[in-house]
A = this chain, B = another copy of it.
Amino acid sequence: MYDKAMHALGSTQSGIRELFDYGQKQAAIVGKENVYDYSIGNPSVPAPEAVKKAIQELLEGDPLALHGYSSAQGDGWARKAIAENLSRRTGDNIDADCIYFTCGAAPAIVGSLRALRQDENTEVLLLAPFFPEYTMYAQACNIKAVVVPPDTENFQVDLAAVEARISPNTQAVIVNSPNNPSGVVYSRETLEAMAALLRKKSAEYGHPIFIICDEPYRELVYDGGEVPYVPAIYNNTIICYSWSKSLSLPGERIGYFCVPPCVDDSKNVYAAIKGAMRTLGHVCAPTMMQKVAAKCVDIMPDLSVYDQNRKTLYEALTGYGYRCVYPQGAFYMMIGAPDGDDNAMSERAKKYNLLIVPGTGFGAPGFLRISTCVDPAMIQRSLPAFKALMEEYK
């Protein structure tokens, strides 16, 4: 009567969402202020005032033009604004026809995977720790997701592990840096080494292996750190972007894919993703938000709260004895489970109304994710809970 796999996907929640819902219920029992919810990656800093102003200005224009269909790629003026901003920041030569507005980064990734699929043997590499929905996107395209286990020392990339899993069927590697869930930024050194490996393997197999860069956290980097522009390091790179985090617009579903000119046969790769988007029921990305994004493209997010949260938590938790890789970007960090059992630790934490997500779903068993996009006051209230949890392991 219906597809069993789709039914299973629709009937089960992600571990993150399950924990979040548990927290909402628990709040009703013990009080909202006594639940320390580190489960969800929803920006805690509101959209900048410029977003409101941009919408108000747009509302004064012609409503037919404002809310009417754009072309499938998106409004030409808005794409030009995005392209110019990208070119200015990267030194690359991006034009409007490299950009295609999407309803957030997720469908851009699905469309890219679908376009790059060769046959029923096609594979995509997921570098753990990774965003769990990637496995679903691969499944949707009938592509095999091959997990590369994490470099648990510093959450960069274990290149030997990549090399061991790469095959003639590998069409793409998804790169997500700054990373959800680790908060780590892949260094230039990591990316250059990976690029060299992918170049070697592309030559060996006689077809390009693409990097699909999932970059919603691109602007969320601390301590003046660098987020290298991947296409300058590896030419066959497709960028999938979203303003969900940088402009705090996660619900508005506005993002894009970009096929830079350095990609082999870039115009045809763009056309193939464009075709794939059509089959997903993409008509255009929300038109008003296309224009809002273009008007606000030069605005950088206010990172001060996330930055302070990250420092507070890192210092406190390492002080209590937690193992933790210093987060350089995004709004996440990972801690190690002292006995290696992340699921058990997440369960134990619930006793203290502390909600932290097991890393197993991210391909990083033995670790747990903490979202740092939270109210700073909640962090202060939660510290005794973190301390008590660690005491149990001593």
Contacts and interface: CB of A to CB of B under 8 A. Distances in A.
A29 interface: no
A244 B309 CA distance: 42
Contacts of A116: 1-3
Given A56-B59, A106-B282, A139-B279, A273 B69 contact: no
A31 interface: no
A216 B115 CA distance: 29
Nearest to A11: B271
Contact of A248 (B67, B251, B286): B67
Interface string A43-64: 1101100011001100100111
B2 A68 contact: no
Interface in A294-315: none
B3 A104 contact: no
B42 A68 contact: yes
A253 B68 contact: no
Contact of A288 (B2, B111, B251, B284): B251
Q: Which one of A118, A139, A278 has the highest number of Cβ atoms from chain B below 10 Å of its Cβ?
A: A278
Contacts of A59: 52, 55-56
A61 to B, nearest CB: 11
A276 interface: yes
Given A63-B52, A275-B11, A286 B253 contact: yes
Contacts of A133: 278
Interface string A127-149: 00000010011011000000000
Interface residues of A, number: 78
A42 B69 CA distance: 7
Interface string A101-129: 00110111111001111100000000000
Contact of A10 (B8, B47, B107, B276): B276
Q: Give the most central of A110, A111, A207, A288: most B CB within 10 Å.
A: A288
Interface string A246-270: 0011111100000000001100111
A144 to B, nearest CB: 15
Interface in A62-107: 62-64, 66-70, 103-104, 106-107
A287 interface: yes
6 contacts: A1-B264, A1-B265, A10-B271, A47-B64, A106-B282, A133-B278
